[in-house]
A and B are shown apart, each in its own frame.
Chain A
Amino acid sequence: ETGVTQSPTHLIKTRGQQVTLRCSSQSGHNTVSWYQQALGQGPQFIFQYYREEENGRGNFPPRFSGLQFPNYSSELNVNALELDDSALYLCASSLGNLPNEQFFGPGTRLTVL
């Protein structure tokens, strides 16, 4: 059974640029959630996708957008990067649209200069 994977591991961007982060779900999972974790804080929910449809969104501006593909992998896109977007971005997969156990990937560390 393959766990959740994320790419890239680290990324450095400058303010105003755009970034795409990728996530592959654990085998058999059809739900993906994205979280942002600032240093020293707990993760904050960005949004969730279930069967390619957005299934809930946290308090993040529209420049944070996502996609889920037919194979249930997912992308997080952030436009017009700001310094405060520097964080660890975590992807989690689960089964179904009920709040079942979520399994997290290793994260992508984004630094915005």
Chain B
Amino acid sequence: KQEVTQIPAALSVPEGENLVLNCSFTDSAIYNLQWFRQDPGKGLTSLLLIQSSQREQTSGRLNASLDKSSGRSTLYIAASQPGDSATYLCAVPGGTSYGKLTFGQGTILTVHP
């Protein structure tokens, strides 16, 4: 059974700081890994999708890496801004249903001015 863990559960940083969010998964036979952002009470916004054959994916100030063999992914946010405050979730497909996404619990990020 695939399990996804995110560390830390919460993070509070001053504006401008570079930060790293961690995601680990127990079954390394993944097809891809997706990072999402969720604002309070809202839906999920897809940030980055890394295919299993890739090691990195970048979008603006965001960079996600994937190490399948160790079952880990990191989301790097450069020069954080108050608008980055949200919950960040990682998810991998697979398990009992091929299209099912298994999510971590999320990291609650607060960037204060």
* Interface, chain A (partner B; CB < 8 A): 4, 6, 31, 33, 35, 40-45, 47-48, 50, 55-58, 88, 90, 92, 94, 97-99, 101-107, 109
Contact = CB atoms under 8 A, between A and B. Distances in A.
Contacts of B32: 99, 101
Chain A interface main SS type = strand
A101 B46 contact: yes
A105 to B, nearest CB: 5
Given A41-B105, A98-B31, A109-B41, A57 B97 contact: yes
A105 B44 CA distance: 7
Given A42-B105, A47-B97, A57-B96, 18 more contacts: A31-B99, A42-B4, A42-B103, A43-B44, A43-B101, A48-B97, A56-B98, A56-B99, A56-B100, A90-B44, A97-B98, A99-B32, A99-B94, A102-B34, A103-B46, A104-B45, A107-B41, A107-B42
Interface residues of B, number: 27
B77 interface: no
A99 B99 contact: yes
The 9 A-B residue pairs whose C-beta atoms are closest, nearest first, are A56-B97, A99-B93, A42-B103, A104-B44, A106-B43, A45-B100, A104-B43, A99-B31, A48-B99
